[in-house]
């Protein structure tokens, strides 16, 4: 892609102002490091004039985002400030017009709409010796704490499918008993359809070594339901990286508010889990939602996006050559 001298200078300024390392900023912008440093040296030696492309017939490139699209993306970014450039690019593409993450990032950066998140980002340590290859092979489960003002602490029990990150079941509990774990697993079996289905292999459960997970009561329940059990290494919570990452994502959003009734917290959890399962695009899932992957429609979604991309590129080329011929 060719850039004008003013665009090159703008990119240089963006990189200089960025709080990220140069390499990461350039990756976001989609610009090779060698290209950037070539511009930078020319700019230091000769200013704006040195950035001009000296090749003949250097016209604006055909695949630059139209002004109408840029305005629409900025409006979407202001409407959904919690979304990253990657998520905005996927969402905009889902609406029928392809844009790349790097294009969205450059646009947001130029309008000072790239900010540090008000929460902690954590990457899941999710690589096992034998990774899962399909849904319902391995389920992760864990508790986390949530407070209701005037009521005290409650405990969220969750069952998450390892392969798709789909939240199969959850229960807000007043304790962390083995019965709470088995109740959540009952809900997971029901929601997955495995409660009544005849399958060759039941999901294996992955948990930590908390009292409710090492109890004889839970062992009996798992034996009765034909489910195996793997417990993570003591003092290594990242063994369950995906559910730990889920806890972080959930708390980053749900705990932006205070709750005074358990029912209010439950309602907010239900809203977020529905969003997480059906609308949140995961980079590790090829920008699909957990539901896309869990239900097996992921490739259909990717094929649809590819058609949108091809249609968008063809339309940009058509408009470019039409304007060029005018």
Rounded Cα distance between 12 and 110, Å, is: 11
Characterize the bridge pairing of strands 167-173 and 152-161.
antiparallel
Nearest by Cα to 181 from 215, 154, 148: 215
User: Tokens in use for 311?
Assistant: 């249609």
Extended beta strands in the chain, E state: 138-148, 152-161, 167-173, 204-207, 229-231
CA dihedral 106, 107, 110, 115 (to 10 degrees): -80
Q: CATH 3.30.420.10: does it fit domain 138-290?
A: yes
Nearest by Cα to 248 from 161, 165, 134: 165
Specify whether the CB–CB gap between 224 and 189 falls below 8 A: no
Any bridge partners for residue 204, and if so which?
A: 138
pLDDT single digits (tens) 249-287: 999 899 989 999 999 999 999 999 999 999 999 988 999
User: Tokens in use for 253?
Assistant: 């959003």
Q: Which residue, chain included where needed, has tokens 């905005």?
A: 88
Instruction: Determine if the pTM surpasses 0.85.
Output: no
pLDDT single digits (tens) 57-72: 444 566 678 889 999 9
Specify whether the CB–CB gap between 92 and 104 falls below 8 A: yes
pLDDT band at 122 (very low <50, low <70, confident <90, very high): very low
What are the boundaries of each domain within the chain?
A: 5-110, 138-290
Give residue 91's Cα distance to chain centre: 12
Q: With pLDDT > 90 as the criterion, what percentage of the chain qualifies?
A: 55
Give residue 127's Cα distance to chain centre: 17
pLDDT band at 150 (very low <50, low <70, confident <90, very high): very high
- The pLDDT score that the predictor gives to residue 238 is 45
Any bridge partners for residue 147, and if so which?
A: 153
pLDDT single digits (tens) 170-223: 999 999 999 999 999 999 999 999 987 777 788 999 999 999 999 999 999 999
Rounded Cα distance between 158 and 323, Å, is: 56
Any bridge partners for residue 155, and if so which?
A: 145, 173
- The pLDDT score that the predictor gives to residue 152 is 95
The answer for residues whose C-beta is within 8 angstroms of residue 199's C-beta and 6 or more apart is 136
Rounded Cα distance between 99 and 73, Å, is: 9
């Amino acid at each position: 892609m060719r850039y004008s001298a003013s665009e090159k200078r703008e990119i240089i300024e963006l990189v200089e102002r960025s709080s990220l390392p140069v390499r990461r900023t350039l990756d976001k912008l989609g610009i090779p490091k060698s290209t950037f440093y070539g511009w930078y040296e020319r700019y230091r030696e000769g200013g704006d004039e040195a950035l001009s492309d000296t090749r003949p017939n250097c016209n604006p490139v055909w695949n630059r985002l139209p002004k109408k699209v840029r305005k629409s993306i900025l409006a979407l970014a202001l409407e959904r400030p919690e979304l990253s450039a990657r998520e905005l690019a996927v969402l905009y593409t889902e609406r029928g017009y392809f844009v790349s993450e790097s294009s969205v990032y450059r646009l947001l950066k130029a309008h000072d709409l790239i900010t540090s998140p008000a929460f902690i980002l954590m990457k899941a340590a999710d690589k096992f010796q034998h990774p899962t290859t399909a849904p319902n092979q391995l389920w992760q489960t864990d508790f986390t704490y949530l407070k209701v003002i005037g009521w005290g602490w409650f405990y969220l029990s969750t069952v998450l499918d390892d392969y798709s990150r789909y939240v199969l079941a959850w229960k807000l509990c007043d304790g962390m008993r083995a019965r709470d774990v088995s109740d959540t697993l009952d809900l997971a079996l029901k929601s997955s359809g495995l409660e009544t289905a005849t399958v060759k292999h039941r999901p294996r459960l992955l948990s930590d070594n908390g009292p409710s997970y090492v109890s004889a009561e839970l062992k009996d329940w798992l034996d009765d339901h034909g489910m195996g059990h793997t417990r993570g290494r003591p003092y290594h919570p990242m063994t369950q990286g995906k559910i730990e990452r889920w806890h972080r994502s959930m708390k980053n959003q749900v705990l932006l508010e205070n709750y005074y009734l358990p029912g209010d917290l439950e309602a907010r959890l239900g809203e977020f889990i529905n969003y997480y399962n059906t609308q949140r695009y995961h980079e590790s899932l090829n920008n699909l939602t957990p539901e896309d992957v869990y239900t097996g429609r992921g490739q259909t979604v990717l094929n649809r996006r590819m058609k949108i991309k091809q249609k968008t590129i063809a339309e940009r080329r058509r408009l470019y050559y039409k304007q060029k011929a005018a």
